[in-house]
Amino acid sequence: MNYSFDFVPIWRNFDTLLYGLGIGLSLAALSILIGVVIGGVVAFGLVSKNKPTAWIAGLYVSFIRNIPILLVIFFMFFALPQLGIRFSKITSFVAALSIYAGANLAEVFRGGLQAIPKGMTEAGMAVGLRPMQIRLSIIIPLMLRSTLPSMGNAFISLFKDTSLAAAIAVPELTYYARKINVESFRIIETWIVTSLLYVAATFTIASLLRLFEARLAIKR
Amino acid sequence: MDLSAFFVELANVWPRLLQGSIATVTVSFQAIAYGSVFGSLLGLMIFYGRMPARICGWIYLDFIRGTPVLVLMLASFYIVPLAGLGLSATGAGILALSAFCSAHVAEVFRGGLAAVPPGQAEAAKSVGLTFPKILFYVLLPQVLRQALPAWINAAVEIVKASSLLAVISVPELLLTTQQIVSRNFMNAEFYLVCGLIYFAINLTLSKFGKLVEKRLAF
Amino acid sequence: MNSILEISGLRKSYGPLEVIKGVDLAMKPGEVVSIIGSSGSGKTTLLRCINLLEEFQGGDIRIDGQLIGYKTSNGKRVALPERERAKNRALTGMAFQQFNLFPHMTALGNVTLGLRKTRGMAKDEAVAVAEKWLERVGMSQRKNHYPIQLSGGQQQRVAIARAIAMNPKLMLFDEVTSALDPELVNEVLNVIQDLANDGMTMLLVTHEMRFAYQVSSKVIFMEHGVIAEEGDPKEMFHNPKSQRLAEFLGKSKFQ
Ligand SMILES: Nc1ncnc2c1ncn2[C@@H]1O[C@H](COP(=O)(O)OP(=O)(O)OP(=O)(O)O)[C@@H](O)[C@H]1O
Ligand SMILES: [Mg+2]
């Protein structure tokens, strides 16, 4: 294989790639925020004593977790407009990511909820707190704290999933990479630089999260 | 939504959906098989190898796990023809999925090896077994049993990730569905059907895993 | 001469298993009552019913004259709404065997939570009250520590401060020293003794026979969900009337 490397066309477009990376990070950040809310609500559904609630929550979680995220994206982007629900491209993409993250986080939070000793609720009851107060002041903070590492992982995988935005032509890193690839024909260079950008970003996020966790751990 | 029209259409296109499903299962199966073999070897290398080998293993793992599968797939799709390996788009897709799978499996395998108490290998050594025999008769059975749930999870991830072959125009289940809805415009209905098929495939996989797990319990 | 606690005909079952089979008990202000008895006799369950951590199927519990947990309407016994029950619970303070401190809050945060959310105190007021009680249990030095930074005995003292800061009519202690290392038991017992001397009304389940003997104005011996024997500690420990109590005391090596 005689292929002469030439990174110049990539460097020329490097700012575009970085811009794409920024878009990906923003989409992931927005989606994880919404996903945490969905996941939190659904997790309480999963552990609910009310049978239909638990069943519906369980169905949502196991269905979404067993289908490809790209299918969810296509559904939001192509199927919902047909049903008369119209969003912008970006909104439907963020919605798809949030729904997907919500299902995964619900499972994570359920584990967190079940790991909270019954004594925590009882101690709250013993000082006269009402159920909603117990949930807000005791259960939810404990749940979020114990699942922080998993939330970090969810964020990283969500960030990688933002590459799928390229499939519905939302411009982000992968979309621009493909464009540069086609325009410059510097194939190997494009994909090496693109993956390195993703790897560097995920690595940085992971390190920052670990630092953040360590900080919190001391405070406990 | 017109239900009767939907069923008429479903009757029309089900052979194609079946074909797409078979493609999805075949592609996933191959990727899981290759990925598991390579991933296990990689796991062994990371656990038992010398420092340079370990470092290479970790770099490979971090690289693959840090890159989105779609990027792996596009890279494989565009780069493989340059290498002149004569792989089809499907081949390029399977290659990318296998790489993704191998990283998952290597991590699972390494974790499994780490979880076997050191006393096990020592006990085997003390009755005079050589390393390959220790590995084969003592460690691997324990690793496999312990790592099975995580391995099944990895397999489910691969089935889901196989949908990305749609992006490089391999007619698996998702692309087939896209082709179907682009003609009949029944987007919601058929994407839902497509989801149900993936759901069924993965549920079967998980149930199968549970079954094997029970069998292997000792 | 009104009672702080008045239990009559209390019955409680877990499914088909009846574990409290008709308990009557009255406590006057300032009284300290210890409950002893073998494992499974229903001591914890009794305390949990009084704190409304459990449902009970029969009988009444009154705290300072107020009927708690249930009411009778049209001749039917109905559970009070959760809001009311939360208020009822704040009438009694509970200290648990496993402390149950909230790990995400400091000692001070643990004590102020109920003051602010249940009693509706402003932050400054809650902090002032909490500091006073942390001082009382000898924990003011560590008020900004998180539970994992505290020893078991220290955690239990904070838990006691948390309960008592609510200004309950009655304090309930459920084997508060049995999860502690032996050398930490006394620091907690001293706090309880101190509160008793101060006139706090207390009902405590304990396996520390010597402590029960010295702190209590009355001792109750429970067997199979009923009160088998009760009376003055000296009387009970030195001249047990029933064979069962004598055996139990023999086993607990009280002399
Ligand atoms: N949540 C529960 N569900 C079913 N049965 C229970 C439950 N909690 C307690 N019991 C049963 O109720 C009975 C009384 O238990 P309780 O905890 O009140 O005993 P105890 O006197 O506090 O014993 P110990 O000295 O061991 O703490 C026991 O037979 C116990 O098995
Ligand atoms: Mg008990």
Q: What is the mean pLDDT of residues A11-40?
A: 94
Does residue A13 have a pLDDT over 90?
Answer: no
Does residue B218 have a pLDDT over 80?
Answer: no
Distance (Å, whole) CA A181 – CA C100: 59
Contact between A111 and A130 under an 8 Å Cβ cutoff? The reply is no
Q: Which residues of A touch B67 (CB under 8 A)?
A: 160, 195, 198-199
Task: Please list the helix, strand and coil fractions of chain A in percent, rounded to the nearest 5, in that order.
Answer: 85, 0, 15
Share of chain A above pLDDT 90, in %: 73
* Residue A1 binned pLDDT confidence (cut-offs 50, 70, 90): low
CA B159 to chain centre: 6
Does residue A218 have a pLDDT over 70?
Answer: no
Does residue B1 have a pLDDT over 60?
Answer: no
Q: Do chains C and A touch (3 or more CB pairs under 8 A)?
A: yes
Look at ligand 1, atom 19, and give the residue with the nearest C-alpha.
Answer: C40
The predicted structure's pLDDT at residue C129:
96
* Residue B81 binned pLDDT confidence (cut-offs 50, 70, 90): confident
* Residue A7 binned pLDDT confidence (cut-offs 50, 70, 90): confident
Beta carbon of C156 within 6 Å of any ligand 1 atom: no
Share of chain B above pLDDT 90, in %: 67
The predicted structure's pLDDT at residue B38:
96
The predicted structure's pLDDT at residue A2:
64
Angle among Cα A13, A153, B26 to the nearest 5 degrees reads 80
Residue C175 CA: which ligand 1 atom is closest? 27
Residues 6+ apart with CB under 8 A from C74: none
The predicted structure's pLDDT at residue B170:
94
Report how far ligand 1's centroid is from the alpha carbon of C60 (Å).
20
The predicted structure's pLDDT at residue A6:
80
Q: Which residues of A touch B191 (CB under 8 A)?
A: 71, 74-75, 78-79
Does residue A109 have a pLDDT over 80?
Answer: yes
Beta carbon of C16 within 6 Å of any ligand 1 atom: no
Look at ligand 1, atom 16, and give the residue with the nearest C-alpha.
Answer: C42
Over residues C189-224, the pLDDT tens digits come to 999 999 999 999 999 999 999 999 999 999 999 999
The predicted structure's pLDDT at residue B16:
95
Does residue B11 have a pLDDT over 70?
Answer: yes
Report how far ligand 2's centroid is from the alpha carbon of B164 (Å).
58
Does residue C114 have a pLDDT over 90?
Answer: yes
Find, in chain B, the residue whose alpha carbon is nearest to that of A157: B68
Q: Using CB atoms, which chains have 3+ pairs under 8 A with A?
A: B, C
What CATH number labels B3-209? 1.10.3720.10
Over residues A139-196, the pLDDT tens digits come to 999 999 999 999 999 999 999 999 999 889 889 999 999 888 888 888 888 899 999 9
First to last CA, chain A: 57
Find, in chain A, the residue whose alpha carbon is nearest to that of C102: A120
Distance (Å, whole) CA B81 – CA B95: 12
Largest CA distance in chain B: 72
pTM: 0.86
Of B32, B14, B3, B31, give the one whose Cα is nearest residue B197.
B14
Q: Which residues of A touch C162 (CB under 8 A)?
A: 123, 127
ipTM score of complex: 0.91
Report how far ligand 1's centroid is from the alpha carbon of A132 (Å).
28
The predicted structure's pLDDT at residue B121:
78
Does residue B217 have a pLDDT over 90?
Answer: no
Q: What is the mean pLDDT of residues C9-23?
A: 95
CA C202 to chain centre: 7
Q: What is the mean pLDDT of residues B78-96?
A: 88
Helix, strand, or coil (residue C24): strand
DSSP for A69-137? HHHHHHIIIIIHHHTT----HHHHHHHHHHHHHHHHHHHHHHHHHHTS-HHHHHHHHHTT--HHHHIII
* Residue B118 binned pLDDT confidence (cut-offs 50, 70, 90): confident
What CATH number labels A8-216? 1.10.3720.10
| Contact state of A1 with B194 under an 8 Å Cβ cutoff | no
| Of the partner residues C83, C103, C104, the one whose CB lies closest to the CB of residue A130 | C83
| Contact state of C53 with A145 under an 8 Å Cβ cutoff | no
Beta carbon of C45 within 6 Å of any ligand 1 atom: yes
Does residue A219 have a pLDDT over 70?
Answer: no
Sign of CA dihedral B58, B59, B62, B68: negative
Does residue C255 have a pLDDT over 70?
Answer: no
Ligand 1 binding pocket mutation candidate from C23, C34, C44, C223 (most atoms within 8 A of CB): C44
Q: Using CB atoms, which chains have 3+ pairs under 8 A with B?
A: A
Does residue B122 have a pLDDT over 90?
Answer: no
User: The tokens of B33 are what?
Assistant: 């098989």
Over residues B163-174, the pLDDT tens digits come to 999 999 999 999
Look at ligand 1, atom 4, and give the residue with the nearest C-alpha.
Answer: C14
Give A14→chain B minimum CA distance, Å: 17
Total CB pairs under 8 A between chain A and C: 73
Give C48→chain A minimum CA distance, Å: 9
Beta carbon of C42 within 6 Å of any ligand 1 atom: yes
Look at ligand 1, atom 26, and give the residue with the nearest C-alpha.
Answer: C39
Instruction: Give the domain ranges of chain B.
Output: 3-209
**Residue A10 contacts B, CB cutoff 8 Å:** no
Q: Which residues of A touch B166 (CB under 8 A)?
A: 70, 167
